Amino acid sequence: MEKTVLLYEGKAKKIWKTADADLLISEFKDDLTAFNGAKKSSEAGKGALNNQISTELFKYLNEKGIPTHYVSTIDDNNMLHKAAEVIYIEVIVRNIATGSLSKNLGIADKTVLPFTLVEFDYKNDELGDPKLNDQHCLLLNLVNNTDELDYIRFMARRINTLLRDFYATLDIKVVDFKLEFGRDKNGNIILIDELSPDNFRLWDAHTDEKLDKDRFRQGLGGLTEAYKQVLDRIRNRK
């Protein structure tokens, strides 16, 4: 499948049209951004690692019955997937308090939450991705009804359970992560975007070593080495 027209370029990926209107190609970039684009850099090989990690996790979720946009992996940096109408809600799933949750609510860092917290952010860079409640989602016409929000929450929790179990076998804690959903050509809500350490906080289960983009946010260094460690653990699991 060949790329034809560049449809969209984001912080981490370029999205290309193909000869098939129902299929797109995501090209994973080496660019790094944090704090709504205030901090920027690039690290060779990061895009390929994100594509390969996402590939493994999409395949795993597909096998478990989660509807996703994933079709196939073309090469190290390019993924073929279904076209979808993006739902402009970033779904944040939290298992352990850290980052903005600790800062905003005063919950001590590394506190294990008594239940899985699911939050919604408005996918809008110009506004800084503000928090949304259900009524905001309806006012902004991001969903058709509250049933869709309930379904998205259900899917987010189901995905969380599957990925926590998956990563537990790799001695990795799933701290929190961001998901995105869209509607396929039949109007079905499916999981889209990527499932990489750019969008996940992943800590080593024994040392709490950060294996995610916090290494860039916090100036820790060793980002691609950490991402490669995640990929190696996934592949060695087999």
**pLDDT of 60-71, one tens digit each?**
999 999 999 999
Query: What's the whole-number average pLDDT of the chain?
Result: 97
Amino acid at 31: D
**pLDDT of 83-133, one tens digit each?**
999 999 999 999 999 999 999 999 999 999 999 999 999 999 999 999 999
Architecture of 6-82 per CATH?
A: 2-Layer Sandwich (3.30)
Which two tokens mark 39? 């901090």
Range with the lowest mean pLDDT among 27-36, 149-158, 161-170? 27-36
172, 233 in Cβ contact below 8 A?
yes
- Global confidence as pTM: 0.96
Give φ, ψ of 210 to 5 degrees.
-80, 130
- CATH 3.30.470.20 boundaries in the chain: 85-222
- CATH 3.30.200.20 boundaries in the chain: 6-82
199-217 burial by CB neighbour count: b if 16+ within 10 A, else e?
Answer: bbbbbbeeeeebbbbbbbb
Residue 36 has pLDDT above 80, yes or no: no
**What is the fold of 85-222?**
D-amino Acid Aminotransferase; Chain A, domain 1 (3.30.470)
